[in-house]
Structure 1
Amino acid sequence: MKTILVTGSNGLLGQKLTENIRSSNKYHLIATSKGANRFPEATGYNYIEMDVLDPQSIHAVLEKYRPDAVIHTAAMTNVDTCEAQPEEAYQLNVESVKSLLRACEQFNIQFIHLSTDFIFDGADGPYDETASPNPLSYYGETKLAAEKVVQQATCPWVIIRTILVYGIVADLSRSNIVLWAKGALEKGQPLNVVNDQWRMPTLAEDLAEACLLAAEREAHGVYHVSGSDMMSVVELVRRVAAYWKLDASLINEVTSASLNQTAPRPMRTGFILDKSRKDLGYAPHGFEEGLALVDQQLHLHGQHKNENKLT
């Protein structure tokens, strides 16, 4: 049975990996993050506090547990925060990768690195794995710099690029575009949503599955992993409104230029998924199927909250 170590296990993808591994009984899991464990169940795996900015901590944990694979999900992913705090972004998105790779090389551990569509400029998406990167934002620059570090590694490595991940965690502490749109529309709040950016949103469960397939199949190289449906961001929000029968008249279409965001965004990304489907057996949910899963989980977690209030 393989041992898999996950960084950033308190994040959305980290918690989905924990959930998947616990329910599959196919791997031993070492879940690591900063601070206390936020996953609701504490059994069936090891949780270790590990700071990815502390090379000694990384070395000690990897030396002790000798995992077969490290799935590195920890990162600074807020695009505007990265633009405003470049030193912190570089530390978390690039230096952490260097430290983890040093330990992975020493113990010959497979390194699975999460990257992003924001390494592309969005001029001619959707992209395959051979497309030339040209990041527009500092976030994209740090993720591309990390990819270059990974590609020089002497241990086995995989880079999984993804797009606009959505889903929920048990304590509902992590937001994303689907939950943001649903929450605002339920409160009757008008939304300004861009009509000139296109994406292929990715269900967190699908991304977690792809990471584990890469570990299981001992994959190597770069893989594009996203949802299969291409849509504009305003269409995405309209589909959220339609799914939950919310008032779509609250959605105001705006251009990217009118938002005055700190960091520029690529206009049209999207991925060609042929390589992931062929090599990994990746099979993403459709967008409405993903929303149905989110809805089911919201009901489940809502019931648990109500039960806790009653006891």
Structure 2
Amino acid sequence: MFKVAIAGASGLLGRALVRELAAQTGWQVVQTAFSRVGAQQVALDVRDARAVEDFVAREAPDAIVIAAAERRPDVCEHDPAAARALNVDAVRHVAAAAKPRGAWVLSISTDYVFDGSAPPYRPDAAPNPLNAYGRSKLEGERALLDATDNALVLRLPLLYGPIVAWQESAVTSLVPAIRASAQAGNASAVMDAWATRYPTFTPDVAFVIRELLTRCADGDAVRGLAQWSGDEPMTKYEIAQRIARALGIDARLTAQTEPADATPRPRDCHLDSGRLEALGIGRRTPFDAGIRAVLDAFEAEHAKP
């Protein structure tokens, strides 16, 4: 029986992957979490090398997916040591524990390893991160691939999907401001119209990862660097407009046409997904359909008595 361990199963992407793999018969899935440990999950701090080693020795997974990360650029900028512990050291711990047992490791990285000046970016394009988050994720990529040759880095852009709170995604985190802007007497919501993003649906990423795990189970693992991205370019201002339409509200939005974030961010890091597409791997849900499903599900859940 093929056994998969998911580190960070309680997060936005981890939950989507758990749901995707639930339909995969004949596999065993071991979920780990740190801050939100559910009934079907194993408590594991991936920053603890001994704990990771003990977990891998005990569970003996055939594949490990590292979905745990510090993904908030502003947090990484203010506490780079903490970001490095999760985005670099934890990846190294997993790789070191997996290598002697022959387990394939998939680690999630980001489009922010690039500076956004010359898109689209192929996997072999020269990285040049602009902030501490991007630097920590790039260092994590190198830590993984230096530690084992039985591994894949999967770079992803801005993610959205089924949530437990608006703030889980930089896409859905816009909802409170969008709603407030539609209320009488409130100011308009200022939204970034400078940087181009490619919002990508977590159930689609989970589908991609399942396809990669299937190849691993069949003895044809994909290794090195790969990327997956939605293909609809939009600024956060345009994302907010689409969210407002999906919510059916008359939001008042103001476009911010110059970069305003305290932490530097790249302008356009469009990831080329050609390597996976050439393997017949991939799925893309149109943004309007994906965000409507997310909003409807969240509001239905929170409307329950």
- Give me the TM-score of the superposition, normalised by structure 1: 0.89
1:147 to 2:141 alignment: yes
Identify the residue that residue 11 of structure 1 maps to in structure 2: 11
Q: 1:300 to 1:14 in 2, by over 3 A?
A: same
Among candidates 198, 202, 205, match of residue 204 of structure 1: 202
Aligned-pair identity (%): 25
| RMSD across aligned positions (CA) | 1.8
Identify the residue that residue 218 of structure 2 maps to in structure 1: none
Identify the residue that residue 55 of structure 2 maps to in structure 1: 61
1:255 to 2:249 alignment: no
- Mapping of 1:1-311 within 5 angstroms? 1-38=1-38, 42=39, 46-169=40-163, 171-172=164-165, 174-188=167-181, 190-217=188-215, 218-248=221-251, 250-257=252-259, 259=260, 261-302=261-302, 306=304, 309=305
Q: 1:286 to 1:149 in 2, by over 3 A?
A: same
Task: Report the more deviating stretch, 172-181 or 208-217.
Answer: 172-181
Q: 1:300 to 1:213 in 2, by over 3 A?
A: farther
Q: Is the 8 A contact 2:159 2:171 kept in 1?
A: no
Deviations 1:246-272 (A, max 9, x none): 224x21111343x2x332000011122
Q: Is the 8 A contact 1:109 1:155 kept in 2?
A: no
- Alpha-carbon offset, residue 155 of structure 1: 4.5
Consecutive unaligned residues of structure 2, counting only runs of 5 or more, are 216-220
Equivalent-residue separation in structure 1 for 2:70 and 2:280 (angstroms): 27
- Alpha-carbon offset, residue 210 of structure 1: 1.5
Q: Is the 8 A contact 1:185 1:247 kept in 2?
A: no
Consecutive unaligned residues of structure 1, counting only runs of 5 or more, are none
Q: Is the 8 A contact 2:178 2:240 kept in 1?
A: no
Equivalent-residue separation in structure 2 for 1:173 and 1:103 (angstroms): 35
Deviations 1:185-206 (A, max 9, x none): 2233632111110011111111
- Alpha-carbon offset, residue 286 of structure 1: 1.5
Q: 1:65 to 1:173 in 2, by over 3 A?
A: farther
Deviations 1:263-307 (A, max 9, x none): 20000111222222222521211211212321342254245xx1x
- Alpha-carbon offset, residue 68 of structure 1: 1.0
Letter in 1 for 2:275: K
SS in 2 for 1:180: helix
Letter in 1 for 2:253: I
Q: Is the 8 A contact 2:227 2:276 kept in 1?
A: yes
Letter in 1 for 2:249: L
SS in 2 for 1:13: helix
SS in 1 for 2:279: helix
- Alpha-carbon offset, residue 75 of structure 1: 0.8
